[in-house]
C-alpha cells in the first residue's frame, strides 16, 4: 500500500497491462509514468526515480479484520477467485516471504519456517531497528512490528494462545499490535511496512536481500 501524494500532486494509479520481471506495472493518469508495484518506484516517464511512500498494511482474513475493525467496509474479489485466501498461503507457505526494506537494504522472513515454529515469533535487530516478525496461525497473518515501546525494547513469544512480552508479561494482539492486558495495556506497537511477497519476486527485486533463516534462500 502506498500514499498517492507526490510533491504537491495526488496521483491516480491504475494497472498498465504491462509486466516487468513478471510483476505488475502501474501507471499514473496525470503523467503517464510507469511504476513498479513491488518497489513503489517510477521506472519510466516524467517521474522516473520517484518513490511512493509505503504505508503499513495487513493481509488477513475478513473474519480477523472485522473482529477488530467492526466499522470496516470490504471490496469482494470475483467469486471464482481462489488466490490470496488463508488457504492459499497455508497450502503454499514455502512460496512466500514477508519482507522489509530500508534504503538499499532488504531482509525477508520465510513464511514456511515461521509457520513451523512452536512459537512463530522472531525477535531481531536489523539496520538498527529492534523488530519482531509474528505469524498469527489461525488467520495466517504475518506482521512486522517495532519492539521499542517508550524507552524499552521488548522481546515477544507465544505462551499458548497469548502473544506476550518477556519484560512485563503484557498480552498483545498479534495482528493489530494492541496491548490487551497487563502493565502496558492500551499501548500499541508501531507497525512496520512489511510486504508479503512471492519468494521469487522478492529475490528478483531485492537481489542483495538477507534472509531468515539464512538457509531459506
pLDDT at 80: 64
- What does the pLDDT look like over 36-59, one tens digit per residue? 988 889 999 999 999 999 888 888
Total number of residues shown for the chain = 217
CA 79 from chain centre, in angstroms, equals: 25
- What does the pLDDT look like over 56-96, one tens digit per residue? 888 877 778 788 888 888 776 666 666 667 777 888 888 99
Residue-range definition of the domain harbouring residue 27: 5-44
Report the percent of the chain where pLDDT is more than 70: 94
Domain check: are 23 and 66 in the same one?
no
Distance CA 141, CA 135 (A): 6
Supply 215's cell numbers: 538457509
Domain check: are 94 and 186 in the same one?
yes
Instruction: Count up the domains in the chain and report the number.
Output: 2
Q: Find residue 6's DSSP bridge partners.
A: 9
Domain check: are 14 and 108 in the same one?
no
Whether residue 100 contacts residue 132, with contact meaning beta carbons closer than 8 Å, is answered with no
Domain check: are 160 and 187 in the same one?
yes
Domain check: are 212 and 158 in the same one?
yes
Domain check: are 121 and 198 in the same one?
yes
Q: Is residue 180 part of a domain?
A: yes
Q: Is residue 55 part of a domain?
A: no
Name residues of the chain where pLDDT drops below 70.
76-84, 215-217
Domain check: are 110 and 205 in the same one?
yes
As a whole number of Å, the end-to-end CA separation of the chain is 25
Domain check: are 108 and 197 in the same one?
yes
Supply 214's cell numbers: 539464512
CATH of the domain at 66: 2.102.10
Q: Is residue 49 part of a domain?
A: no
Neighbour tally for 127: CB within 10 Å: 12
Domain check: are 111 and 202 in the same one?
yes
> Could you tell me where the beta strands, DSSP code E, fall in the chain?
5-6, 9-10, 13-20, 23-28, 34-36, 42-44, 96-102, 105-110, 121-126, 129-136, 141-146, 148-149, 152-153, 156-159, 162-165, 171-172, 179-181, 195-198, 210-212
Q: Is residue 123 part of a domain?
A: yes
Whether residue 179 contacts residue 165, with contact meaning beta carbons closer than 8 Å, is answered with no
Mean pLDDT of the chain: 90
Amino acid at each position: 500500500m502506498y500514499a498517492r501524494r507526490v510533491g504537491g500532486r495526488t496521483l491516480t494509479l491504475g494497472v498498465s497491462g504491462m509486466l516487468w520481471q513478471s510483476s505488475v506495472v502501474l501507471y499514473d493518469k496525470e503523467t503517464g509514468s510507469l511504476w513498479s508495484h513491488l518497489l513503489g518506484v517510477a521506472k519510466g516517464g516524467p517521474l522516473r526515480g520517484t518513490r511512493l511512500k509505503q504505508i503499513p498494511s495487513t493481509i488477513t482474513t475478513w473474519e480477523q479484520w472485522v473482529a477488530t475493525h467492526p466499522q470496516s467496509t470490504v471490496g469482494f474479489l470475483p467469486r471464482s477467485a481462489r488466490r490470496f485466501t488463508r488457504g492459499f498461503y497455508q497450502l503454499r507457505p514455502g512460496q512466500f516471504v514477508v519482507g522489509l526494506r530500508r534504503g538499499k537494504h532488504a531482509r525477508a522472513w520465510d513464511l514456511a519456517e515461521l509457520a513451523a515454529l512452536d512459537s512463530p515469533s522472531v525477535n531481531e535487530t536489523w539496520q538498527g531497528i529492534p523488530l519482531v516478525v509474528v505469524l498469527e496461525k489461525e488467520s495466517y497473518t504475518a506482521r512486522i512490528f517495532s519492539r521499542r515501546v517508550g524507552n524499552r525494547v521488548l522481546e515477544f513469544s507465544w505462551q499458548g494462545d497469548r502473544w506476550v512480552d518477556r519484560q512485563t508479561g503484557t498480552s498483545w494482539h498479534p495482528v493489530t499490535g494492541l496491548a490487551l492486558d497487563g502493565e502496558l495495556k492500551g499501548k500499541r506497537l508501531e507497525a512496520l511496512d512489511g510486504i508479503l511477497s512471492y519468494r521469487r519476486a522478492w529475490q528478483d527485486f531485492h537481489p542483495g536481500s538477507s534472509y531468515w533463516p539464512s538457509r531459506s534462500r
